[in-house]
Structure 1
Amino acid sequence: MRLLRNRPTPPAPAEPGDTLATAESLHVRLGTRDVLHGVDVTVRAGEVLALVGPNGAGKSTLLGALAADIPAADGVVRILDRPAAEWSAPDLALRRAVLPQSASLSFPFTVEEVVRMGRAPWAATAPEDDDRAVAEAMRQTDVTAFAPRPFSALSGGERARVALARVLAQRAPLLLLDEPTAALDLRHQELVLRVCRERAAAGDAVVVVLHDLGLAAAYAHRVAILRAGRVAADGAPEEIFDQALLSEVYDQPVEVIPHPRTGALLVNPERNL
């Protein structure tokens, strides 16, 4: 007699503004070092939330904690109103998808095989559903032409886009992306952030770690500025991208000005050449 295991249940569709994840008084310690100190962050459906701040501010650690990959020393992370630690791995994989900073594989998988790995949480679905999700994710990230190529033969930027396609194919309502534009050229930086906005417009919640404040200003609905493991400011870019605050946080003079033609917010380091 074969025992049937309970299949994980996909989450119900979220409404715009629904809270999909929170960090409440979150403290994280890595080794002997306290990295996050009492962080509060809310992640909502329909929004792109950018985490910005200087190196070592705790951005990737916060993302890892929101993904339930890094445990809290104190405080709590909730995913869909439930403590993250209480979700089983299969259920969690249907609710959040994570893009790490770098992607490496030891075996000679093709690009399509790598993207298809994102469908693993949906093992019980029809093959045609998997095919559609994989094809759509590859189209969105502009990697369809690479489908038969070995992942190991790609450039760094191409690998980064394939890794993002795998995350998109997972079709989770909470996307957690760590520096998805770091290895990309100008065109593909814009493409990736447009995809983030599209996923938010479709009802997902997207949290993205960015170093480029100009991209954060252009594409994020909300920004959390981290400094030394704490949230220095949280709000819409036009509300919190203050010249004095950014200059202090980054220890570098920064200018925040409106675009002369569109009025969009421009954030640049002050340079004396």
Structure 2
Amino acid sequence: MSALRRGRAALFGRRPRTVPARPAPGEVLVRAEDLHVRLGEREVLAGIGLSAYAGEVLALVGPNGAGKSTLLGALAADLPADSGTVYVDGRPVSGWTAPELALRRSVLPQSAALSFPFPVADVVRMGRAPWAGTALADADEESVAAAMAAAEVTGFAGRPFSALSGGERARVALARVLAQRAPLMLLDEPTAALDLRHQELVLRVCRERAAAGDAVVVVLHDLGLAAAYADRVAVLHDGRIAAAGPPSEVFGDGLLSRVYRQPVEVFPHPRTGAPLVVPVRAEAKGEPAGNPCGPRNADGDLTSA
């Protein structure tokens, strides 16, 4: 047994744990009731009520500071609630031990950092730690290989994690979460460091996991990705949910313009019908609309009105 596997067994395998059953379609895997969270003097979440169901992708969207990452952290039981309750697999999160919780939900934070130059394959294998000492521990290598293939990181399995680019690290971190094979996946801005191809890859993986019966809650800034891949979206604004439902019902000009404080237009994609969200921009490509310097003549000098 490798040192890594011995360490995982020591951490997670001290006493037998019940392997959770696969969730039924539509089962609530995480639920927040009247959730309030304060960070310092500021109430970041104010009375949030939200559920995520097996078989769906739920996208959390909204402007910077709206509370998306805080909500994800509270759903993961990484941030304590000041009031209200978060339930995972039907039980308040306070009723689960850390090893038990790790069998039921996996978490991808915004950034991934390691102090030691672990090879990529070992970083992904860390996602299997919760299963040490259970009947499913024998599936470790299969799970790791499948996760690395899904995230397209197999080609640099032996490279040190510290030597990777930001986008490569993000994909390795995703592979670790996939290898964990928890039925609830909580992903915080998984596309932020990725190019176009790999942004699409990540959301396709989310859809595949939902189709396999998992619940995926993902924080996204790209409203186009949310509209194309999410079954439901929750739009956060000033610590509250401004609207929640299918993207086709929630994404409207008025709501998004108000929440983002930026005029937008929403229209259906000509082929798929998914909402396309486009900022309203000045038509001219030269001077911006409302140029305070006023019009100029052909020589570039100011002219009178």
Question: Please, what TM-score do these two structures have when normalized by structure 2?
Answer: 0.87
Match of 2:67 among 58, 78, 92: 58
Letter in 1 for 2:120: V
Q: How far is the alpha carbon of 1:126 from its aligned partner?
A: 6.3
Match of 1:177 among 178, 183, 187: 187
Match of 1:47 among 56, 66, 72: 56
Change over 3 Å in CA distance of 1:98–1:251 after alignment to 2:
same
Q: Give the conservation status (yes or no) of the 8 Å contact 2:131–2:137.
A: no
Decide which structure has the larger Cα Rg and report it.
2
Provide the rounded CA distance (Å) in 2 between the counterparts of 1:127 and 1:37.
Answer: 40
Match of 1:76 among 69, 85, 89: 85
Q: How far is the alpha carbon of 1:268 from its aligned partner?
A: 1.7
Letter in 2 for 1:222: R
Provide the rounded CA distance (Å) in 2 between the counterparts of 1:127 and 1:12.
Answer: 15
Match of 1:257 among 247, 256, 267: 267
- Structure 1 counterpart of 2:175: 165
Q: Does 1:23 align with 2:32?
A: yes
Match of 1:88 among 94, 97, 108: 97
Give 4+ residue runs of structure 1 displaced > 4 Å after superposition: 125-128
Q: Give the conservation status (yes or no) of the 8 Å contact 1:238–1:265.
A: yes
- What SS does the aligned partner of 1:13 have? coil
Deviations 1:244-271 (A, max 9, x none): 1000000001111112233332112122
Match of 1:141 among 122, 141, 151: 151
Q: How far is the alpha carbon of 1:40 from its aligned partner?
A: 0.4
Q: Give the conservation status (yes or no) of the 8 Å contact 1:214–1:268.
A: no
Change over 3 Å in CA distance of 1:138–1:83 after alignment to 2:
same
* % identical equivalent positions: 71
Provide the rounded CA distance (Å) in 2 between the counterparts of 1:112 and 1:229.
Answer: 38
Change over 3 Å in CA distance of 1:31–1:205 after alignment to 2:
same
- What SS does the aligned partner of 1:167 have? helix
- What SS does the aligned partner of 1:164 have? helix
Q: How far is the alpha carbon of 1:5 from its aligned partner?
A: 4.6
Provide the rounded CA distance (Å) in 2 between the counterparts of 1:206 and 1:26.
Answer: 20
Alignment gaps of 5+ in structure 2: 1-12, 286-305
- Structure 1 counterpart of 2:276: 266
Deviations 1:49-104 (A, max 9, x none): 00000000000000000000101101100011111111000100000000000000
